[in-house]
Amino acid sequence: MAEPYYLTTAISYPNGKPHIGHAYEAVAADVMARFKRLQGHDVRFQTGTDEHGLKMAQKARELGRTPGQLSDEMSRYFIDMCDVMNVSHDVFLRTTEPRHHAASQTLWQRMEANGDLYLSRYEGWYSVRDEAYYDESELTEGEGGDRLSPQGTPVEWTVEESWFFRLSAYQDRLLALYREQPDFIRPESRRNEVMRFVEGGLRDLSVSRTSFDWGVKVPGSDSHVMYVWVDALTNYLTGLGFPESTPEMAKWWPADLHLIGKDIVRFHAVYWPAFLMSAGLPLPRQVFSPGFLLNRGQKESKSLGNVTDPVELAERYGVDTLRYFLLREVVFGQDGSYSPEAIVTRANAELANSFGNLVQRVLSFIARNCGGGFTASVPVAEADAALRARVATACREELPAAFDRLAFSVGIEAWMQAVFACNQYIDEQAPWALRKTDPARMERVLATLCGCIRDLAIAISPVVPAASARMLDALCIPANRRDLAALAGEDPALGAIRVENPTPVFPRLEMPAEEARC
């Protein structure tokens, strides 16, 4: 039986359309999901939208609409983005679904039964944009003397009756968790930040609001709605059928990986495990936070006018090309930057000129000169075996080891070095010359290259799934022989080769005129 693997993204707040950061997180999670399937895991991949809270209520009021109407419209943009970016989620969950309200209320009742909820009065600083409470010591002063959160967002002094969660009671248990499971929060820089925050002392957390009603009702206290993060975090359970004792809960929980933005680490690495401890539920195995994706080194914002629509980028450069760039260019876990120039440069150098050109040269040569297929008859030479070993190491060992620790750029670099080795081999062996002088040797060289292309296409398929599928289709590789286990099986370089309808998959990109003048 295949080992289960459950991963999630943070659910997106749909008070605006998706930006490139949403696509980056969704694509990274999708690459991990596809990679785990490639390894033979039974994967469950969940994403969705977080539709409650004050921000949504205020935005709807500005537009003269109801929050429900706004949620219905805006969640569609996020579903469409996932479709465009070829994100293979199994569940897209909306927090406005009735089943989610039931799950959130059950979690609340479990925390209440454990003695961790009490009614009191909240007075303090609140950021509507972050949907977060901040201590005075965390604030900075902005222009004009305004108080700002650590994220640079405005805060306002809030006074209202509120239910509180006894977060302070979980300080020691959380610190023990971080010490005993050092991989619970990654990368290490984020773990260190969280530990410093918790070591500084935890205050009880306000977990309900009475100033608006767009949210999940607090059980037995209908004038209160749950703090949006209690509601939002519960989504990871809702999709499994919680609170029912479903086969899905038994199989998939605890989650193997929560992939989340670095600005919401506190909610996932402090509040969420504390809520689960209180409710008597197992904790997720890992919370991993990539860095910010910056536009030419700047964080995107509407005021700067540099917010990028990922769907437009995908239409301009191609879905697989954009996916490749996002995972190749940025060290996962650190901040990174993108620009049209960087996308075009990376895509042309590595996808068009290196891998795409290699595939097209070999497959079109076979189609033109070998009747679309042949059976290699001469023995494998030392150069052939050396190349196959080099590619096998990259595809079966180096890339998987790196992807397992979410070091995507490291794994792709190892894969790229194998591509370079194939291009060097084809130039040295010159099958176009062997066609006249030694046709049998030519076939052995081509067979070796086809075996390498098969391995390379399978290994990189989590990143560029559509392009890889087209290459494997052209090589007539059966659909059930396209996982990592197949790479250790029968080698097509030692048997019959068949090529059908080879077409270029990575055309060279041109810089748009308006971008080229920047």
Q: Which CATH architecture has domain 339-498?
A: Orthogonal Bundle (1.10)
Assigned CATH for 4-290: 3.40.50.620
Instruction: Give, as one character, the DSSP assignment of residue 2.
Output: P
Sign (positive or negative) of CA dihedral 484, 490, 493, 499 = negative
Nearest Cα residue to 103 out of 292, 4, 232, 291: 232
C-alpha count within 13 angstroms, C-beta hemisphere, residue 285: 10
Q: Do 153 and 129 touch, CB atoms closer than 8 A?
A: yes
The reply to whether 339-498 shares the fold of 4-290 is no
Q: Do 133 and 125 touch, CB atoms closer than 8 A?
A: yes
Q: Which residue in the block uniquely carries the two structure tokens 């205050």?
A: 203
Q: Write out the two tokens for 171.
A: 């300080």
Spatial separation of the C-alpha atoms in residues 287 and 22, rounded to whole Å: 17
Q: Do 47 and 8 touch, CB atoms closer than 8 A?
A: yes
Q: What separation in angstroms does the CA of 410 have from each of 220, 363, 413? A: 52, 28, 5
Predicted confidence at residue 128, as pLDDT, reads 78
pLDDT string in tens for the chain (518-residue length): 899 999 999 999 998 899 999 999 999 999 999 999 999 999 999 999 999 998 899 999 999 999 999 999 999 999 999 999 999 999 999 999 999 999 999 999 999 999 999 999 988 888 878 778 788 888 888 877 788 988 888 888 888 899 999 999 999 999 999 999 999 999 999 999 999 999 999 999 999 999 889 999 999 998 999 998 999 999 999 999 999 989 999 999 999 999 999 999 999 999 999 999 999 999 999 999 999 998 887 777 655 666 789 999 999 999 999 999 999 999 999 999 999 999 999 999 999 999 999 999 999 999 999 999 999 989 999 999 999 999 999 999 999 999 999 999 999 999 999 999 999 999 999 999 999 999 999 999 999 999 999 999 999 999 999 999 999 999 999 999 999 999 987 787 778 899 999 999 999 999 866 544 43
Predicted confidence at residue 304, as pLDDT, reads 60
Q: Do 426 and 447 touch, CB atoms closer than 8 A?
A: no
Pairing of strands 221-226, 42-49: unpaired
Q: Which residue in the block uniquely carries the two structure tokens 């959380």?
A: 174
In single-letter form, the type of residue at position 23 comes to A
The torsion defined by the Cα of 83, 89, 91 and 93, in degrees rounded to 10, comes to -60
Domain boundaries, the chain: 4-290, 339-498
Predicted confidence at residue 131, as pLDDT, reads 78
